[in-house]
A and B are shown apart, each in its own frame.
Chain A
Amino acid sequence: MKMRIGNSKILIFSVPVLIFGFILLYLVLWNAYYSLFNWSQLSPVPKFAGLGVYAGLLGSQLFQTALERTLMWALGLVLVGNAMGLALAALLYFVRNSRLRTVYLSIFVYPLAVPMAAVGLISVWLFNVKMGVNVWLAALHLPTPLWLASPQTAFPTLFLVTVWVFSGLSALFYLAAYSNVDQSIIESARVDGASAFTIFRRLLLPSAKSASIVSTALLFLFALRLFALPYVSTGLNPYTETIVVNLYFYYISTFFSSSAAVSTVVVVIAMIVIIPYAMYGLKRWISQ
């Protein structure tokens, strides 16, 4: 239940945040407006072009690749990140020693604190074909992929890196949800001889709904914001396999209206997918 309606004067408290929030919306609308013009360093005076810029973009091979990669990355991270989060949280849930559990959880979450630029630098060398992890794989007679050096494996390699970075955060939310399950129910299930897997499937998993909303919203947000990792570890050359929309945008920033259009596409994707989702989830908490 919400509190009774207060004095509207208190909205003054939100003014500093609102000012900056409106600046951001202004920037977004600016993009949307100029994406309708023909404007670049070659034609410095903006000329109205309607949806012409968008038509041009959709026909561009590089943009198609970038858009496809971004969506794949976002969708993949939501699926794999959540699955890893559910699994890691379940493993941690069954660790009896609570201090040890906190230590493990911290280890799974800490990659979030490592700058993506640093993750990119390390990835370059960890996946170096001659000096990196392949040395160990070869010693164990396992296959030695080309990792970042091949167009086929560059994208999956960086994707794995992002799973590594973000699934700890997802695990944290799920562990919180599991911990809310009544301990006595779990105990009685144990006494009845239920296996850990049954407990996970029947008792823990159903509790994870609200955690999955937060986890999904954040994973999606982080996936859309990816820039430093592909920029540092592969750049635009020699392959466009790991290109994401944001990189493409950087590449074409001399073509003002095209980049404004790309930006608008990114924001629209973000809004279509995440806003109803996040709002639905948030509303549910806040009106609890």
Chain B
Amino acid sequence: MRYLRNILLQVVILVLVALWLLPIYLMVLDGLKSTSSVLLTPVLSPGGISPSAFLSTVRDLARPILNSLVVTVPVAAVGTYFGALAAFSFYRYTSKISDVLFSIIALATFVPFESVTLPLARLIFSMNLFDSYLGLIFAFLIFYLPTGALLMSIFLVSLPKPVLEAARADGAGDWMVFNKVVLPLMMPGMISTFIFIFIEVWNNFFIPLVLIKSPDMRTATLAAMRYIGGMGVLYNDTFAASFIISLVPLLVFIFTGKYFIRGLLVIGGGTKG
């Protein structure tokens, strides 16, 4: 009976897993079809193989992917580091002021970015940063520095307090304590936060849509729009392009997902210590 139930469990999970892997299957299968077979075979069925769609979209998306990297890496790094710094200061100095400041940070995290497009675009424009890397980075920092601080505050709770106290007793300054004691201990949380911001910024479509104009400056997600096709044309390119723009965040997830998940498990389970 238990044996049977185990098999049933495995079957249900495998069906769900297959459902979850379907998009990757589609991106690879249809991205590799030749232009003629893609028009003749249904989306889910295999057809003639040709690397042409991947080759041409890789060539066209190389620049946008570079643009995305130039913007995403600094935002994730700055958001994580300064987020941790702010989280540390709220944690160390408990008072009405830091409570209010912390609430403002939490509030800022939950403002949907679409809702401030107009003033944001005007601000970036008035700073002469429209259609530039710096403008995009600045705009993303507005949203993801508070997010970084909020996430790091949650992770900071799991830090063992005696270690901090001991470092203080040795006469170490706050700056020293942060860089030499807190940062190393907070690595799992820092990595989670970095990955979260990286993936969110990479995948963001809206902010570059509003703040970028010239084709050379397009980010990966924005550039992929032109592959949507119409009237049944060009759709091996659609799948190849989807795969290529997903590749960087997916690789980040595959190689660091362990840490990402471990960090999030801390949030989900609450803290024990």
Contact = CB atoms under 8 A, between A and B. Distances in A.
B44 A115 contact: no
A200 interface: no
Contact of B42 (A30, A135, A180): A135
A246 B112 contact: yes
B42 A104 contact: no
B110 A275 contact: yes
Given A17-B85, A91-B9, A286-B157, A211 B268 contact: yes
A125 B238 contact: yes
Interface string A251-288: 00100100110111011001100110011001001101
Given A20-B141, A21-B146, A23-B142, A285 B271 contact: yes
Nearest to A209: B270
A107 B257 CA distance: 10
A256 to B, nearest CB: 6
A121 B91 CA distance: 44
A133 B203 CA distance: 26
Interface stretch (B11-19, B48-56, B128-136): B11-19
Interface in B3-53: 5, 9, 12-13, 16-17, 19-23, 26-27, 30, 42-45
B92 A10 contact: yes
A82 to B, nearest CB: 13
Interface residues of A, number: 104
Contact of B86 (A14, A91, A132, A246): A14
A154 interface: no
B228 A133 contact: no
Nearest to A103: B17
Contacts, number: 326
B265 interface: yes
B83 interface: yes
B106 A122 contact: no
10 contacts: A10-B88, A13-B86, A110-B257, A116-B203, A117-B225, A176-B266, A176-B268, A211-B269, A232-B228, A278-B110
B143 to A, nearest CB: 7
* A-B interface, 4 closest residue pairs, ranked by CB to CB distance from nearest: A176-B268, A173-B268, A13-B89, A228-B205
Chain B binding surface, main DSSP class: helix
A111 B241 contact: no
A12 B239 contact: no
A237 to B, nearest CB: 12
A174 interface: yes
A28 to B, nearest CB: 6
Contact of A13 (B88, B116, B228): B88
A121 B154 contact: no
B142 A24 contact: yes
B232 to A, nearest CB: 8
Contact of A17 (B115, B148, B242): B148
A118 to B, nearest CB: 4
Interface range, B side: 35 or more
Given A106-B257, A117-B224, A128 B110 contact: no
A228 B206 contact: yes
Contact of A10 (B93, B206, B270): B93
Interface string B82-115: 1101101111111101100101111110111111
A121 B86 contact: no
A227 interface: yes
B253 to A, nearest CB: 4
B272 A180 contact: yes
A7 B224 contact: no
Contacts of B43: 125-126, 128, 131-133, 135
Contacts of B268: 172-177, 210-211, 214-215
A2 to B, nearest CB: 5
B110 A274 contact: yes
Contacts of A196: 5
B118 A253 contact: yes
Nearest to B144: A20
Contact of B82 (A16, A110, A169, A177): A16
A225 B17 contact: no
Nearest to B122: A30
A115 B90 CA distance: 33
